[in-house]
A and B are shown apart, each in its own frame.
Chain A
Amino acid sequence: MARYAMVIDTRKCIGCHSCTVACKVHNELPVEMIYNPVTTVGPTGVYPDVQMVHIPLLCMHCDNPPCVDGCPTCASQRREKDGIVFVEDSKCVGCLACVMACPYGARYKNHATGAVQKCDFCKDRVDIGLKPHCVNTCHQKARIFGDLDDETSDVHKLVNGENACRLLGELGTDPYVFYIYGLEVKNP
């Protein structure tokens, strides 16, 4: 058993979109489908006292995924063995209930197939011991992937040692994508 998680260290992210493109190209996604857009916030403030942060987004692989609860055909599923949330294409009827249920806007309809698709942490790669494409391609090592249950893993150390936070944590979705902000945040 494992619990896969991703930590995104925004202190390192430079907003280059390499992850966005790597994901699209290697997963052969249609141009309009973007599993992991990078949002740039800023520059905020007034010139020259400004700041800028880049926030890569993706499926949060929630422990309480509303998309799974909202799926009428059981196409949206959460893998018991490692927590990865994915869509079983053959069961999806494209009703978009999951798209509406997801508070992170991380699901997209594929207009060619009619099915809903999303980031699945590259589960086929993960199953053979590889990392997701977005993690491998990141020059800045801003995306860290691993088993949160493994106390020796980098994700475990970062989530427990840094000021890691979750998006929309108040909704109780219990996401397994964590964000680290701020240059000043160091190990306590």
Chain B
Amino acid sequence: MSKNIDITQAGVEVKKSACYFCHQNCGVLAYVKDGKVLKIEGDPEFPTNQGGLCCRGNIALQHLDHPARINYPLKRVGKRGEGKWEQIPWDQAMKEIGSKLLQIRSEFGAEAVATAGGTQRTDDWSRRRFMNLFGSPNGFHNSHLCWIPTFMVETAIYGWCPFELDMGSSRCLILWGQNPGAAGMPEMHHIRELQEKGMKLIVIDPRFSETAAKADLWLPLRPGSDLALALAWIHVIIFEGLYDQEFVANCCEGFGELADHVENFTPEWAAELTWLTPEQIRAGAYMYAMNKPGNIQWGTSVDQIGKPAGSTMHARAILRALTGNLDAPGSDLLTGPSPDFLTDEEMEANDQLPEEQKAKQIGSDRFKLVTWPGYSKIAEQTRKVWGKAPTAEWMCEAHPPSVFRSILSGKPYQVKALLVSATNPINSYGETSLVLDALKAVDFMVTCDYWMTPTAALSDYVIPIAGALERPTITSSYGCSDFLLASQRAIQPMYERRNDYNFWRDLGCAMGQQEMWPWATVEEAYYAKIAPLGYDIESYDEFVERYRFHFPEREYFKYQRQGFATPSGKVELYSTVLKDLGYPPLPPYIGPTENEIDDPELAKEFPLVLTTGGGFMPYHHSEHFQIKEVRFLRHEPYMDINPATAAELSIEDGDWVWIETKRGRIKQKANLTQGIHPRVIYTQRGWWYPERSMAAPELGGCLESNTNVLTTTADDHCDPYSGSWANRGLLCRVYKVNASDMEGK
């Protein structure tokens, strides 16, 4: 498609588009003629990727018109999952779905309609707006596994999440369970450049990842034991006098209580729990505390360890505060929300959801931090200082496993309809057997997607969604950054695909919400968002073409002027917000979700420790297995196992093996590697096989190699603060697949 394309020919326009295959949203230049994209390349002017594109970015044209894409709304005509569909017009689909939802609302209440989302590659403020206007509090994503609990714990402690890293003058960076070498190419490039200038890099990861290979210090801890490491670091930093005395004295509350609390959490104590040596633990604490300013980059791992997650986030947040690495040059910045453009929260119409409906949010009775009880409390604080609240979509959601359970148990009430957008829960939510049973049992299901996924295959309607090159994009860190990057669509959506914005808007309008949806197109809505910035522009596209991004002038030490957005106005090491919600005000030690110390009997049966969920090129979550231009790189799923362990189990490189937990077992191929501890197993996430039958029960082989068959969402395995479930730090066993059971699960 692009070989020797003459981009200088008459009529070729260059569109400033964005990649949409992960939420880095790298800048892309699209060369367009007569409504067709002739060629794409990385935008060399874009501040993050600077012209680079990863494997996924390069296949934008293969994705755009792939023969397996869903191009028209599909209505089920056979039995659920049978794979028989009728193609219907978009407007008919919206009318039929709308009237079904209205019927469910009148019979069972608005809360009987829930919506499941995926990662942040959608206009989710519009989903929230739809749900608020409809009256249901039960929107959710698997964002519980991805930053959201971290954001809320940190906001409870110091009034916003310091996700903006001022790395230009940083001297030390901690990547805590993050592997930009496989998941964040632009970030990796910047890290390497800064390392050349002398910045130290600490990588905390059980695997010798692409990034760990470049680290100054690699700390391969036992999966799920991050909390012991964080507490021991706090101990070292306090008792060896490495903390920032001035910052702690002037800006922090609860230092004395904290010091008492961590007195016994020595490196020697943590060594046994983390499988690191006391020397390794001390080395990390010294490197971070003695190379100031420094940064702790967020990574998904702590959001995914289940039971100890919330306490770990709290301990990690304390490390920043103790070292004074907050809102100072070169440290992690508390930017707050944008005071200038309309944030996602301001587009969500949260005031339209009645209080009595908020109270019905599933999971909010137990997991209070990212549901209405905790969100309201934290938003009240941030409004006082910043004038604005975090995005409610993401930060205030129903608890996903509890919604799936409510479908099956009717408790606390039965969810009757599920609107699935940009996710394939069978592969991406925890404990697949639960999810699959729930999706089969729910009365009514609609899936918005690019492909016929295992989840789409079980739906009543499948709605075709516009993808990269067909949609404008604003990148603003879940709507919580004070900056934004803007990209335009290269072409209008092909066939009868629409933006997910149009899905929520058209569905809302089909149900009588017209007055609340004044923006006919995404561009009109985006223009409304950015208009308050005051640029001399008359449209969103003009902003993209002339400016592309908005970075406000940076102000350090904002807390000196306005305090921290907490009840005391200080950093609350001892957190009154957590305490008021019924959680411990200081981070208690909690062992990994499943572990050999608390449950030695289980460990006898399942002697190895499992970590799942790490990203790997060229896929993203459960996507892109259809595209042969990347599938050839990794045709089959692989798990990592140390050669010594493999030898004990008579497993050779490339053998198919079973990986089994208490929840079930899956097959992946063995990759023998010295990059992993002899007692640790890593499985790849996301796997299904689109080349197989998509009809039930096969559903694209969605159980065979799907790592979420192994994960757990039981209430007592979830983080009590946020309800995030456990993908890491689980107990498992591994054994060879016999020739006789190569087929089936």
Contact = CB atoms under 8 A, between A and B. Distances in A.
The answer to whether A and B interact is: yes
Interface of A: 11-12, 14-18, 20-22, 24-28, 31-32, 42-48, 50-53, 124, 136-141, 183
B52 interface: yes
Given A44-B674, A136-B52, 15 more contacts: A18-B53, A21-B58, A21-B630, A22-B58, A24-B629, A25-B59, A28-B1, A32-B632, A42-B674, A43-B213, A47-B208, A47-B642, A136-B42, A137-B41, A141-B52
Interface stretch (B180-188, B230-238, B480-488, B581-589): B180-188
Nearest to A22: B58
Contacts of B213: 14, 42-43, 51-53
A2 to B, nearest CB: 21
A16 B182 CA distance: 7
Contact of B192 (A12, A42, A51): A12
Interface in B383-400: none
Contacts of A140: 52, 185, 188-189, 192
Contact of A47 (B58, B182, B189, B677): B677
Contact of B617 (A17, A46, A50, A138): A17
B675 A47 contact: yes
B9 interface: no
B49 interface: yes
Contacts of A14: 181-182, 185, 188, 210-211, 213-214
B533 interface: no
B181 A16 contact: yes
A25 B208 contact: no
12 contacts: A16-B182, A17-B617, A20-B633, A21-B58, A21-B630, A25-B62, A25-B629, A47-B676, A48-B677, A51-B213, A52-B213, A124-B4
A137 B642 CA distance: 33
Contact of B52 (A24, A45, A138): A138
B463 to A, nearest CB: 28
A29 to B, nearest CB: 9
A167 to B, nearest CB: 21
A120 to B, nearest CB: 12
In order of increasing CB-CB distance, the 7 nearest A-B pairs are A139-B52, A139-B185, A43-B675, A14-B181, A21-B55, A52-B213, A14-B210
Nearest to B184: A139
B678 interface: yes
A63 to B, nearest CB: 27
Interface in B143-192: 181-182, 185-186, 188-189, 192
A22 B673 CA distance: 28
A51 B675 CA distance: 9
B55 A17 contact: yes
Contacts of B676: 47
Contacts of B674: 42-47, 50
B68 to A, nearest CB: 16
Contacts of A20: 55, 633
Contacts of B59: 21, 25
A36 to B, nearest CB: 13
A178 to B, nearest CB: 19
A25 B2 contact: yes
A166 to B, nearest CB: 24
B218 A48 contact: yes
A112 B633 CA distance: 21
Contacts of B630: 21
Contacts, number: 122
A12 B59 CA distance: 23
Contact of A31 (B55, B628, B642): B628
B605 to A, nearest CB: 25
B182 A25 contact: no
B264 to A, nearest CB: 27
Contact of B2 (A26, A44, A45, A137): A26
Nearest to B183: A16
Contacts of A16: 54-55, 181-182, 185, 210, 617
B691 to A, nearest CB: 14
Interface centre among A21, A27, A28, A44 (most CB of B within 10 A): A21
Contact of A52 (B58, B186, B675): B675
Contacts of A137: 41-42, 51-54, 57-58
Contact of A141 (B41, B181, B189): B189
Given A21-B629, A26-B2, A48-B220, A15 B210 contact: yes
A28 B1 CA distance: 7
Interface in B669-687: 673-678
A26 B210 CA distance: 26
Contact of A139 (B49, B218, B629, B678): B49
Contact of B185 (A18, A24, A136): A18
A104 to B, nearest CB: 21
Interface string B54-83: 110111011000000000000000000000
A74 to B, nearest CB: 23
B618 interface: yes
Nearest to B4: A124
B3 interface: yes
A11 B208 CA distance: 16
A137 B213 CA distance: 22
Contacts of B628: 31
A35 to B, nearest CB: 13
Nearest to B44: A136
A16 B208 CA distance: 15
A16 B630 CA distance: 11
A136 to B, nearest CB: 6
Contacts of B633: 17, 20-21
Interface centre among A24, A25, A27 (most CB of B within 10 A): A25
A17 B618 contact: yes
B43 to A, nearest CB: 11
A53 B210 CA distance: 9
A12 B181 CA distance: 10
A25 B628 CA distance: 11
B280 to A, nearest CB: 9
A42 B62 CA distance: 32
A18 B55 contact: yes
Nearest to B616: A16
A33 to B, nearest CB: 10
A43 B677 CA distance: 12
A171 B192 CA distance: 34
Interface in B224-260: none
Contacts of B58: 18, 21-22, 25-26, 137
B209 to A, nearest CB: 9
A94 B186 CA distance: 41
A68 to B, nearest CB: 24
Contacts of A141: 52, 189
Contact of B188 (A46, A51, A139): A139
Interface in B720-744: none
A60 B688 CA distance: 38
A48 B41 CA distance: 39
A18 B186 CA distance: 13
Contacts of B51: 136-137
A31 B192 contact: no
A18 B675 contact: no
Contacts of B53: 18, 22, 137, 139
A48 B617 CA distance: 23
A43 B675 CA distance: 6
Contacts of B675: 42-43, 47, 50, 52
Nearest to A53: B213
Contacts of A12: 192
B674 to A, nearest CB: 5
